[in-house]
Chain A
């Protein structure tokens, strides 16, 4: 079963589901990521302006983005269990647009942005992320993404990336157990 069809469980410190064929409980996002989400939001909002966030998750990064001065905030979310939460979060924020569905399916209808944060889960279109950036960015756009690599490299082999190392102490989980997170920073 693909991630999009999984029923998610929401707890105060994590979102997860159970996949018995692949390791049991699969955390989608967890509370311990606050320092990473804060730093990611700070980077993509450096220029203010229009921000694109692909993947809402627990809304941690979205909350941090709204602590910065930005013009608009476009959020794309595809999981049916998370979409209502993103919509509820956006209800009182006039500059937020929630787009539902696959980011790759609707990418041609998007604009260009001053900051882009890409953090998805179970995304079959991950392989298109790098090649899609030229359509979503303009001069000086700040881009970052969830970086699973445990050194100063990135899964997408995007070149000319600098990294901010952030010390963390995550509880054992199914997606990231290193004690240093290498936040990627790509400036166009």
Chain B
């Protein structure tokens, strides 16, 4: 099964301390906490602080991207594998949503302004239980993610808190945090990684004189799904 490791440009952005939940969760910019850490204790966190005369909040989100340029055919299954850390606190479930960080193509370093470079309406996973801290947690990527893996040269994701950040529900008095291993970890045994299965490349020859590159279907069947025509490779 092919694998794609996250690019080592991955990192964490936090909203900074903001008065009011919306000011933190909907901030248009934040502060890149780190893009070089092997592990980040505050990878997916939501903090509430009852200070002087107002509640204050801080939201942490993690961003990753994967080079999917080699994938040209239908991705039939894909599993994101993340290694969560023992440092956990509070209601710590997570979710992965689509992101346009890293310049939208992986060509730009993670920036403060990427804090809101995510689409809450485009989820790539279901709610993620982060309680397994001893091995990889395998997370099924949905059809939207698999389609984007095929269609785009990079798959960019934001890993965020589910209960508060994704649901846009201000936390009560409890803080929540989850630590994650990033691609900067030495070796790849705990790096964020995607395992996937893709269809064969399909038929690559002329059909009745028409070049393969100009053919998308033969008798309504996508060329990606055609290995042979009339038993001929």
Contacts and interface: CB of A to CB of B under 8 A. Distances in A.
Contact of A155 (B49, B53, B58): B53
Interface residues of A, number: 25
Contacts of A119: 52-53
Interface of B: 17, 19, 47, 49-55, 58, 173, 175
A3 B52 CA distance: 11
A122 B55 CA distance: 8
Nearest to A26: B51
A157 to B, nearest CB: 12
12 contacts: A3-B50, A19-B49, A21-B175, A22-B47, A26-B51, A119-B52, A120-B52, A126-B53, A148-B52, A174-B17, A175-B51, A175-B53
Interface of A: 2-3, 19, 21-23, 26, 28-29, 119-124, 126, 145-149, 155, 174-176
Contacts of A146: 52-53
Given A22-B47, A174-B17, A28 B52 contact: yes
A148 B47 contact: no
A3 to B, nearest CB: 7
Nearest to A145: B53
A87 to B, nearest CB: 23
| 10 A-B pairs with least C-beta separation | A146-B53, A148-B54, A175-B52, A148-B53, A122-B50, A155-B54, A22-B49, A121-B52, A23-B17, A175-B51
Nearest to B45: A21
Contacts of A176: 52
Contact of A123 (B19, B50, B58, B175): B50
Contacts of A175: 51-53
A123 to B, nearest CB: 6
Contacts of B58: 22-23
A63 B207 CA distance: 94
Contacts of A23: 17, 49, 58
B24 to A, nearest CB: 12
Given A22-B49, A23-B49, A146-B52, 9 more contacts: A23-B17, A23-B58, A119-B52, A120-B52, A121-B52, A123-B50, A124-B173, A126-B53, A176-B52
Contacts of B55: 126
A126 B56 CA distance: 13
B47 A21 contact: yes
B152 to A, nearest CB: 37
Nearest to A146: B53
A120 B50 CA distance: 10
Name the residue among B51, B58, B173 with the largest chain A CB count within 10 angstroms: B51
B53 A122 contact: no
A146 B19 CA distance: 14
Contacts of B50: 3, 121-124, 126
B51 A121 contact: yes
Nearest to B41: A21
Nearest to A3: B50
B17 to A, nearest CB: 5
Contacts of B19: 148
A33 to B, nearest CB: 10
Contacts of B47: 21-22
A76 B216 CA distance: 77
B88 to A, nearest CB: 13
Contacts of B51: 26, 121-122, 174-175
